[in-house]
Amino acid sequence: MIKFEHSVFALPFALTGALLAFRENGYQHAAAKILWIIVAMVGARSAAMAFNRLVDASIDARNPRTKMRHLPTGLLSRSFAWSFVAVSAGVFFLAAGALNRWCLRLAPVALAIVFVYSFTKRFTSFSHLVLGFSLGMAPAAAWIAVAGSLDPRILWLAAAVAFWTAGFDVIYSCQDYEFDTAEALWSVPRRLGIRGALVVARALHILMVACLLLLIYQLSLGALALAGVAAVVALLAYEHSLVKANDLSRINAAFFTMNGYVSMLFFLFWAADIFFLDPGA
């Protein structure tokens, strides 16, 4: 029901946020904090995804694309899924408490936000941005986990992740255009059509790149960070070339494969910039 490898979307950005916080605040207890950040990320994402499957079970059963998921087919019971949500949330709270008191205090807010997302496509076309905000919290939360406070500069990375996520979610939702229209579900493709939705996705990804460049300026990062942004631009351009308004056959490659590469390459370039170009690392 929950594929661990899909955590690759947000986790590298959370780890980047943590490394940037270490760069600014020192590397005390770095290994332990990184471990607990990973545990928190996996716990929160697992709870959110399982909750989404529960909330959308009846919709998934009617959608030809999702009708073979575990809950609609009965491969897993609702009671099991609710237990999974509870255990995953417990792991998240445990990890948040192990990090610091601010993480623990903010954990219920973060979990509420990622749970609320599951309902948004029933009443707003901005559901893609709500999903983006849910993932965009990760680097800011990681900064708080390391520093014990929030530096406003990291919000540029949070915004970049939010725009990136919203953009690729708009692309992915294009394949449900007809179903969303029939079911009166809200999405950008249903509101603007597939062609218009793809334009919106491109605009969101341009905003992502702008936010990353502003963060480089704000934190005085170096050439490797810029190279990472260049790699992201190239991958996103290729992602958009895979999807046409009249041809969505390669949408899974655009969604899963390319965005996995985006997050991983971004992390590798920025981590290299931090460790090789920061004399205090």
Where do the structural domains in the chain lie, given as residue ranges? 4-268
CATH number, domain 4-268: 1.10.357.140
Q: Residue-wise pLDDT tens for the chain (281 aa)? A: 777 666 678 899 999 999 999 999 999 999 999 999 999 999 999 999 999 999 999 999 999 999 999 999 999 999 999 999 999 999 999 999 999 999 999 999 999 999 999 999 999 999 999 999 999 999 999 999 999 999 999 999 999 999 999 999 999 999 999 999 999 999 999 999 999 999 999 999 999 999 999 999 999 999 999 999 999 999 999 999 999 999 998 898 777 788 889 999 999 999 999 998 765 55
pTM of the complete model? 0.95
HEC string of the chain equals: CCCHHHHHCCHHHHHHHHHHHHHHHCCCCHHHHHHHHHHHHHHHHHHHHHHHHHHCHHHHHHCCCCCCCHHHHCCCCHHHHHHHHHHHHHHHHHHHHHHCHHHHHHHHHHHHHHHHHHHHCCCCCCHHHHHHHHHHHHHHHHHHHHHCCCCHHHHHHHHHHHHHHHHHHHHHHHHHHHHHHHHCCCCHHHHHHHHHHHHHHHHHHHHHHHHHHHHHHHHCCCHHHHHHHHHHHHHHHHHHHHCECCECCCHHHHHHHHHHHHHHHHHHHHHHHHHHHCCCC
